[in-house]
Amino acid sequence: MAYRHRDGPLEVLRRVSFGVEAQEFVCLVGPSGCGKTTLLKVLAGLVHPYEGRVDFVGSHNGNPLTAMVFQDHGLFPWMTVMDNVTFGLDMRGMARVERERRALPLLERAGLARFVRSYPHELSIGMKQRAGLIRAFVTDPAVLLMDEPFASLDAQTKLILQDELLRILRDYPRPVVYVTHDIEEAILLGDRVLVMTARPGEVKAEFQVPFARPRALAVIQTPEFADLKGLIWRDLEAAVRYQSQQ
């Protein structure tokens, strides 16, 4: 995958190849600028690689293949929470009653039921991020793509949203590709962690996370967690140093 730049093509991803199983949670870590967001955009069909392809296996009943959750919630400021959350369904021509019937249970469980007629500026950052999350789930995508969705949250809100995400996934299971800079978050959430090299990003190493689900926060205190964190950091550190010298 390469972008067109003034002084020639900028190669961003090279020989990246991985699969994601049904209901598997795959985390991607890698140095800033190595192509993580680009990779999600390729998976979403927003940019097209000049070589290679993305295959989705199985049926998806006319639902979208992917939905993306960004670091910046990406809500439209002029729309209410309900209209934001159901925007994708509206685009697909679904009637308002049906759209709201689908969104309400998700909004309720996220504690947003009282705020469906509020506008984004009337919400806290955590609430906006919850709305962004629900907007993705409500379209029932085959794969959920998440680009550092909780990176701008404070530590406590982040823990709460991570926990909520895992709970929602239990009830609305689907594969997730999740980009993060935070190794602890990758181990806490993921079934597998892929480490990318500096640009052009390749998948350099892959780690299976050994903790069962449902997963308690207490796993952070276990020696296995610390060991895995050390191993991932060893691979990531070299890539981060290399990228920062470029």
Binding status of residue 3 toward ligand ATP by CB under 6 A? yes
Stretch that binds Mg ion, among 31-39, 107-115, 193-201, 221-229 (CB under 5 A): 31-39
Regarding 139 and contact with ligand ATP (CB under 6 A), the answer is no
Check residue 243 for interaction with ligand ATP (CB under 6 A).
Answer: no
Q: Does 18 bind ligand ATP (CB under 6 A)?
A: no
Distance CA 53, CA 31 (A): 24
- Contact 245/31 with Cβ under 8 angstroms? no
Which listed residue (26, 31, 37, 135) binds Mg ion by CB under 5 A? 37
Q: How far is CA 213 from CA 27, 98, 133, 167, 224, in A?
A: 16, 33, 21, 10, 15
- CA–CA distance, 217 with 121 (Å, rounded to integer): 31
Under the binding rule (CB under 6 A), the answer on residue 35 touching ligand ATP is: yes
**In the window 171-230, what residues touch ligand ATP (CB under 6 A)?**
199
- Burial per residue of 180-192, b for 16 or more beta-carbon CB atoms within 10 angstroms, e otherwise: beebebbbbbbbb
User: Footprint of Mg ion on residues 227-246 (CB under 5 A)?
Assistant: none
Amino acid code (one letter) for 182: D
Q: Which residue is nearest to Mg ion (CB)?
A: 37
Based on the shown chain and the rule CB under 6 A, indicate whether residue 64 belongs to the binding site for ligand ATP: no
- Residue 232 CB neighbour total at 10 angstroms: 22
Instruction: Give min distance, CB of 177 to Mg ion, in A.
Output: 13
- The yes or no reply on residue 38 touching Mg ion (CB under 5 A) is no
Q: How far is CA 221 from CA 87, 188, 227, in A?
A: 41, 11, 11
Pairwise CA distance, residues 158 & 102, whole Å: 26
Among 16, 25, 29, 38, which residue sits at the site for ligand ATP (rule: CB under 6 A)?
38
Nearer Cβ to ligand ATP (3/172): 3
CB of 128 to ligand ATP, least distance (A): 19
The minimum distance between CB 231 and ligand ATP, in angstroms, equals 21
